[in-house]
Amino acid sequence: MSIRTLDDLLAEGVSGRRVLVRADLNVPLDKQTGDITDDGRIRAVLPTLGALVEAGAKVVVCSHLGRPKGKPDAQFSLRPVAGRLGELLGAPVHFATDTVGDSARSTVEGLVDGQVALLENLRFNAGETSKDEAERGAFADQLAAFGDAYVDDAFGAVHRKHASVYDVPARLPHVAGRLVLREVEVLSKLTSEPERPYVVVLGGSKVSDKLAVIEALLPTVDRLLIGGGMCFTFLKAQGLEVGTSLLEEDMVETCRNLLERSSGKIMLPVDVVVADAFAPDAAHDTVRVDGIPSHRLGLDVGPETVAGFSAALSQAKTIFWNGPMGVFEMAAFAAGTRGIAEAITKADAFSVVGGGDSAAAVRALGLDESSFNHISTGGGASLEYLEGKALPGIAALEN
C-alpha cells in the first residue's frame, strides 16, 4: 500500500502547522440524557491526536455524528464529544459551534501550537454527503482551508465517499493516521491467507446489508455461523416458520440460494429464545427452531446453539465476528452474545471483532477487550474491506 503515514508527516515537522484530522467520533448517545454511552471511538483516535499535540501542531479535528440531514440539528451536536475528548487528552478542546463558518474560522485562528479544536458536526452541511461533486468540492474547499496537512483517522467512515473523507485529501498533503493504519493492517491479515480454520460469526439485524459480505466470504471461510436477527430469514429459507421474528421476506430466496451453494459451511441456530414481545420484561422460553410459535419472536440464540457454535469456534485459528447474537441490550436476551463472545476469547485464534454494536456489546457485557486481538471501530467499513470493495477514503490516501 503506497500510503504516506502520520510518521512521515511528523518526520517533516508539524510544529506550528495546522493539521486537519478527520476522525470518526460518531459515538452512541443516551436518548434521554444525551450522555455518551460508549467512548471507544474517542479513545481510538488518541494515539494520533496525542502525537500531533506533542509535536506542537495546531490540531483541527472534524467528524460526523449520527445522520443529520445536511443542516444543524442540536441532538447531533459534537459539543459533548469535545468535553470528553478534552478529559481524555488532559487539556481543553476548543469547540467551534459551526463547521466552516465564523466560529470555526476564529477557533482555528485562535489555536496556539499543541492545542486542539473540534469543529461542529460535518453533516450539518449538505456538501459533506452530497452526491454532486461540485457541491461536495465546494465544501471540501472550505474545510481544506483550515489545514496545511490532512490526516485521515476515521476508519469507521472510510467506506463513505464524503467530502471530508474523499475530497479534502485531494486538496491537501495527506497521510493515514495510526488508527486507520492499524485497522487496515489487521484486516488485511484476514483477507490474505488467514490461518485455518477461519470461522466468521455474523449476527445483528440487517440481513440485506450483510448478504453481500456472506457471498464474498463463502469461498474464503471454513465456517460461517449465523445468529442474531438475521438468522430468521435463513431459517425461513430452510422452510421453517419463524413466528413474528425479524424477517426480510424479499431476501428469503437469496438466502436459500446461498445455503444451497455453501457446501455445508453455514451453521444456523438449532434453538432460540422466543418472547411474547420486543421488551426487556417479556415472557420468554427456549424452543427448537422447528417449534417457534406463530405469535412469538426470536430475540436470542439458545444454549444448544451457543454450545454448537462454541465447539466450531474452539477449533478456529482465525475468527471474525460482526453482529450480536441477540438483543444483548436487554439482559434476558444477552446470553447468546455473551456465550459466543466468551467462546471467541477462549479460542486459540487470531480474533477480530468488527461493528459498532458488536464492540459496544463486548464493553457493555463487561468482557475483557484485551482478550480479542483487535476490536475494529468500523462496522460497515470492516465488512466492505473484507468484501474486497475499494474504500473511497483509502483510495484517496493512495493518490
Ligand X SMILES: Nc1ncnc2c1ncn2[C@@H]1O[C@H](COP(=O)(O)OP(=O)(O)O)[C@@H](O)[C@H]1O
Q: Which does 323 bind (CB under 5 to 8 A by kind): ligand X15, ligand X, none?
A: ligand X
| Whether 41 is catalytic | yes
Q: Which of residues 360-379 bind ligand X (CB under 6 A)?
A: 379
**Number of residues binding to ligand X15, judged by CB under 6 A:** 11
Q: Does 378 bind ligand X15 (CB under 6 A)?
A: yes
Report, in Å, the least distance between residue 3 CB and ligand X15. 21
For residue 117, list its beta bridge partners: 60, 94
Alpha carbons within 13 A on the beta-carbon side of 49: 27
**What residue type is assigned to position 315 of the chain?**
Q
Residue 205 binds to ligand X (criterion: CB under 6 A): yes
Identify the residue whose cell numbers are 426480510.
248
DSSP class of 72? -
What is the rounded CA–CA span in Å between residue 78 and residue 124? 11
246 near ligand X (CB under 6 A):
yes
The residues, any chain, with a CB within 8 Å of residue 285's CB and separated by 6 or more, are 273, 274
Name the one range near ligand X by CB under 6 A: 43-51, 111-119, 260-268, 351-359.
351-359
Spatial separation of the C-alpha atoms in residues 158 and 118, rounded to whole Å: 19
Q: Which partner in ligand X, ligand X15, none is near 157 (CB below 5 to 8 A by kind)?
A: ligand X15
66 assigned binding-site residue: yes
Q: Is 41 annotated as a binding residue?
A: yes
The smaller minimum CB distance to ligand X15, of residues 122 and 349, is found at 122
Q: Does 26 bind ligand X15 (CB under 6 A)?
A: yes
Q: Residue 78 binds which one of ligand X15, ligand X, none, with CB within 5 to 8 A depending on kind?
A: none
With CB cut-offs between 5 and 8 Å by kind, which of ligand X15, ligand X, none does residue 378 bind?
ligand X15
* Part of the chain binding ligand X15 (CB under 6 A), chosen from 11-19, 95-103, 247-255, 377-385: 377-385
CA nearest neighbour of 165 among 129, 116, 132: 129
Contact (Cβ atoms closer than 8 angstroms) between residue 201 and residue 309: yes
Residues 6+ apart with CB under 8 A from 399: 169, 170
Which residue in 8, 54, 67, 102 binds ligand X15 (CB under 6 A)? 67
Contact status: 380 vs ligand X15 (CB under 6 A): yes
In this structure, what C-alpha cell is assigned to residue 371? 482478550
Judge whether 24 is annotated as a binding position.
yes
Has 206 been annotated as catalytic? yes
Q: 105 an active-site residue?
A: no
317 noted as active-site residue: no
Q: What backbone phi and psi angles, to 5 degrees, belong to 96?
A: -95, 130
Indicate which residue of 204, 356, 379, 393 is catalytic.
Answer: 356
Residues 68 and 250: their CA atoms lie apart, in Å, by 29
All three cell numbers of 330, joined, read 436487554
- Least Å from the CB of residue 345 to ligand X: 17
Beta bridge partners of 351: 319
Kindly state whether residue 358 participates in binding ligand X, applying the rule CB under 6 A. Answer: yes
Q: Among 157, 327, 367, 386, indicate the residue that binds ligand X (CB under 6 A).
A: 327
Q: Given candidates 177, 228, 302, 378, which one binds ligand X under the rule CB under 6 A? A: 228
CA distances from 68 to 71, 74, 140, 183 (A): 7, 9, 18, 27
- 156 lies in the site for ligand X, by CB under 6 A: no
Nearer to ligand X (CB atom), residue 169 or residue 203: 203
Closer residue to ligand X, CB minimum distance, 119 or 201: 201
Q: Burial-class residue 142 by CB neighbours within 10 Å (0-12, 13-18, 19+).
A: middle
Kindly state whether residue 157 participates in binding ligand X15, applying the rule CB under 6 A: yes
225: CB partners within 8 A, 6+ apart: 199, 200, 201, 202, 267, 309, 312, 313, 340
Q: Work out how close the CB of 23 gets to ligand X at its nearest, in angstroms, rounded to a whole number.
A: 19
Relative orientation angle of helices 356-364 and 335-346, to the nearest 10 degrees = 90
Q: Please report whether residue 379 would count as binding ligand X15 according to CB under 6 A.
A: yes
| Only segment of 121-129, 138-146, 182-190, 318-326 that touches ligand X (CB under 6 A) | 318-326
Instruction: List C-alpha distances in Å: 32 to 35, 36, 37, 75, 84.
Output: 8, 11, 11, 11, 18
- Smallest gap from residue 25 Cβ to ligand X15 (A): 9
Contact 227, 203 (CB under 8 A): yes
Say if residue 67 carries a ligand binding annotation. yes
Does the footprint of ligand X cover residue 357 (CB under 6 A)? Answer: yes
Chain residues that interact with ligand X15, rule: CB under 6 A: 24, 26, 67, 156-157, 160, 355-356, 378-380
Catalytic annotation, residues: 41, 206, 356, 380
